[in-house]
Amino acid sequence: MRTIADHIYDIASNSIKAKSSNIHLKIIIQNNKFIFKIQDNGSGINEEILKNIFDPFITSRNKKIRKVGLGLPLLKQNTELTGGYVVIDSKFWEGTYLEAQFLTNSIDMIEIGDIAGTITGLITAEISIDWEIELTSDTTSERLTTIELKNILGDIPLNNIQVIPIIKNIIQDICSTVFENV
């Protein structure tokens, strides 16, 4: 069973695979809703594919490994089961925007999962990408960029094995501050 964190990982991995150099991830927990928004500046999706993007047979994966792409269809299913939605908008060669909403008081709401671990995994996976992360709740909002983290770290790379747990702690602290009741 996928958690919301797993879905965020799936969708942001699409942005990484699309050769984005900038990825903006917003997570909002407000008014019984869990919303995440991802904007990238990667390859974009051509119109023909975009029209059928929630069809599991649409994928640019190597077809010898697996014919179908599952990231988007599963996300659509899990949001809609709660009464939420997913929308995607993309311009070929410009980038892609995706927004997913879950209604948290639905009996079909899935577990949120490990948001801090997921964000840490994403931003340390491909360290040439500039990430902007924004977390928002009813009362607070926090923002973190990999450019700021890189400035603090100086010559030490973001994916340095001793640095990764420190980054995870920083992100965990931000998550706890913003989403204290979650």
Ligand X SMILES: Nc1ncnc2c1ncn2[C@@H]1O[C@H](COP(=O)(O)OP(=O)(O)OP(=O)(O)O)[C@@H](O)[C@H]1O
79 to 98, contacts with ligand X by CB under 6 A? 96
| Separation CA 61–CA 49 (nearest Å) | 13
DSSP 12: H
Of 58, 133, 149, 171, the one binding ligand X (CB under 6 A) is 58
The H or E element spanning position 171 is helix 164-178
For residues 94 and 41, is the Cβ–Cβ distance under 8 A?
yes
For residue 137, the partner it binds in ligand X, Mg ion, none, with Cβ less than 5 to 8 A by kind, is none
Find the part of the chain contacting ligand X (CB under 6 A) among 64-72, 111-119, 136-144, 156-164. 64-72
- Contact set for ligand X, span 114-153 (CB under 6 A): none
- What is the 3-state composition of the chain as percent helix, strand, coil, each rounded to the nearest 5? 35, 25, 40
Please provide the DSSP assignment of 89-114 as one string: EEETTTEEEEEEEEETTSTTPPP---
For residue 96, how many C-alpha atoms fall within 13 Å in the half-sphere facing its CB? 25
Q: How far is the CB of 75 from ligand X (least distance, A)?
A: 8
Among residues 8, 27, 29, 45, which is the contact residue for ligand X, using CB under 6 A? Answer: 45
Please identify, using beta-carbon distances, which residue of 51 and 156 lies nearer to ligand X. 51
Is residue 78 within the footprint of ligand X (CB under 6 A)? no
Interacting residue with ligand X among 3, 71, 117, 170 (CB under 6 A) = 71
Q: Which does 59 bind (CB under 5 to 8 A by kind): Mg ion, ligand X, none?
A: ligand X
Under the rule (CB under 5 A), what is the footprint of Mg ion? 14, 71
